């Protein structure tokens, strides 16, 4: 998903909110979310263009605290 936002964290949150709105409970989620800053890639700064975030943090930032707790329990079981 391509999202324009002021920071990687807010971009990940906005992208997740949009995906959650579209797919609801059928959404497929991995333990981590990768954000690529395309402006940095275009400027040739590929080494600093990636940010890896825990999905539970992004869920909490989106206000989905209960879902974040449930997801964390699922991750820790594996």
Digit-by-digit pLDDT tens for the chain (78 residues) are 899 998 888 999 999 889 989 998 898 888 999 999 999 999 999 888 999 999 999 889 888 899 889 888 888 775
Q: Which residues pair with 53 in a beta bridge?
A: 33
Domain count for the chain, please give it.
1
Rounded distance, CA 66 to CA 75, Å?
Answer: 14
Flag whether 2 is in a domain.
no
pTM, to two decimals: 0.77
Phi, psi of 57 (to 5 degrees): -70, -40
In a domain, 33, yes or no: yes
Whether 29 is covered by a domain: the verdict is yes
List the domain range (segments joined by +) for residue 13. 8-77
Residue 40 in domain = yes
**Does residue 24 lie in a domain region?**
yes
pLDDT, position 29? 85
Domain membership flag for residue 60 = yes
Sequence-ordered list of residues with C-beta below 8 angstroms from that of 64, at least 6 positions apart, any chain: 20
What does the DSSP assignment read for the chain? -----SSHHHHHHHHHHHHHHHHGGG----SEEEEE-HHHHHTT-GGGSEEEEEHHHHHHHTT-HHHHHHHHHHHHH-
């Amino acid at each position: 998903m391509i999202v324009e936002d002021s920071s990687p964290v807010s971009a990940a949150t906005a992208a997740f909110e949009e995906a959650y709105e579209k797919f609801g409970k059928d959404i497929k989620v991995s333990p981590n979310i990768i954000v690529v800053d395309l402006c940095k890639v275009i400027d040739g700064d590929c080494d600093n263009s990636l940010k890896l975030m825990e999905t539970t943090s992004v869920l909490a930032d989106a206000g989905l605290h209960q879902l974040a707790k449930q997801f964390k329990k699922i991750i820790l079981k594996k």
